[in-house]
Homo-oligomer: A and B are copies of this chain.
Amino acid sequence: MEKFLISKGRRTRETPYTSRIEKQGLTSYTVYNHMLLPTSFGPLEESYHHLKKHVQIWDVAGERQVEIKGKDSSKLVQLMTCRDLSKSKIGRCYYCPIIDDKAGLINDPVILKLDEERWWISIADSDVILFAKGLAIGHKFDVNIIEPNVDILAVQGPKSNKLMEKIFGKKITEMKFFEFDYFKFNDAKHLIAKSGWSKQSGYEIYVENKESGLALYDHLFELGKEFNVKPGCPNLIERIESGLLSYGNDVDNNDNPLECGLDKYVNLDNDIDFLGKEKLKEIRKLGIIKKLRGVKIETKEINVSKSIKLFDEKNNEIGELRSGAYSPHFEKVIGIAMICKPYWNISQPFKIKINGKTFDGKICDLPLI
C-alpha cells in the first residue's frame, strides 16, 4: 500500500504527550475524536511481540471524556445506553453500547461512575457530546455537559502491574478489572482504572493535571527500564486477536448491538428507559440477519482501508471484512467481519480477493484468542 503523510493543524489536536512520542520514534498517526492518536512506532509485529511480553506506555488522549453532571445525569446516561446501569457503583467502569432511537450504534464507550450525579463517558471516535447535548436540551434535563481536560495515558502489557506497583504501591495491583480509584503522584491525584484497549493486562491513567501527567510520563519510562518499557499504541494485531471492537472499523451506526455480539450489554427485560428499546425488542423477536464474526484467511498480508467483500464457493456474497492484520500467532491473516445469515456458522469457508488474488478463509468465533 502506498504511504501518505498526515497534515497537522489545530483542528487535529495535539496531546500533552505529542512532542514526547515524536521524539521516541513515532512513525504514524490517525485522527481520533479530532485528536492525533499514534498508530505505530516502527513495525507493527515488533510492537505486538513486545506488548505481549513487557510493558508499554500509550498516549491515548484521543479517548476523550464526556462529563455529565447534575440532578438528571443518571437519567441521561441511562437513556443513551441499552445496558442496565440501575445498579451501577461509584468507582466502577462499564462498557456500554450507546445507541440511537433506531438502535443503531453511535459509540461503544467505557462509562465511569464518578459520583451519584457525575459520570465520564470515555468515548470511541464519534462526537457523543453533541448527542448528549441534543438529548439534554430536548428533554430539558438538569445537567451540565462538558469535555473536561483529561488526557489518558495507558500502561499496557504483562509487566504493567510491576511498573505501576513501583510507582503507586501495592494497593494499585489489588484493583479488579474495570475498577478505578485515585492515586497520588507528586502531590497530584490521578484517577487510575484497571482497564485498557488490550488484553495483556494494564491500567489507564485519566490525567487531569497536565504538569503532573508529563512528569509521570517521564517517570514511567525511567522506572520502566528494568521491565523493558517502550512507547506504544493500540496494536491492530493484538486487538483483533483479542476481539476488541473498534467503532467505525468493525461496527457503525448501521449495526445494532445484537448484530455486534453485544447481547450481554442489552437489557430488554426490565423497566429501565433507554432509546431504541422498542426497536431492539422488535429486532430480537424477528431475529438478526447479520452477525459480527472472526475470520482466518490463508495469506500473510493485508491492508484493510475499506470493507472487502466475502463470497462462498457458489459466489454468493456472504459478508464483508472490516478489519484485518497478519497474526504471528496463527501464522495467517485474521480479521473481523460482518457476516450475513445463514453463513455465520463457525468454519463456514469463504473466498476473498486481496490485491487481485483470491484466497481461502474460514469464519471463526470472537475473540480469536
Contacts and interface: CB of A to CB of B under 8 A. Distances in A.
Contact of A4 (B26, B247, B307, B323): B26
A87 interface: no
A335 to B, nearest CB: 11
A5 B7 contact: no
A10 interface: yes
Contact of A10 (B26, B132, B322): B322
Contacts of A282: none
Contact of A6 (B6, B13, B126, B131): B6
Interface string A5-17: 1111111111000
A39 interface: yes
A109 to B, nearest CB: 13
Contacts of A303: 8
Contacts of A29: 4-7
B125 A10 contact: no
A253 to B, nearest CB: 8
B10 A307 contact: yes
Q: Is the interface of A mostly helix, strand, loop or mixed?
A: loop
Nearest to A3: B5
A53 to B, nearest CB: 24
A11 B135 contact: no
A36 to B, nearest CB: 9
25 contacts: A2-B22, A4-B26, A5-B27, A5-B29, A6-B30, A7-B40, A8-B305, A9-B305, A10-B250, A10-B322, A11-B30, A11-B125, A11-B249, A12-B31, A14-B306, A100-B133, A100-B137, A101-B133, A101-B137, A126-B130, A130-B131, A131-B133, A132-B134, A137-B275, A138-B138
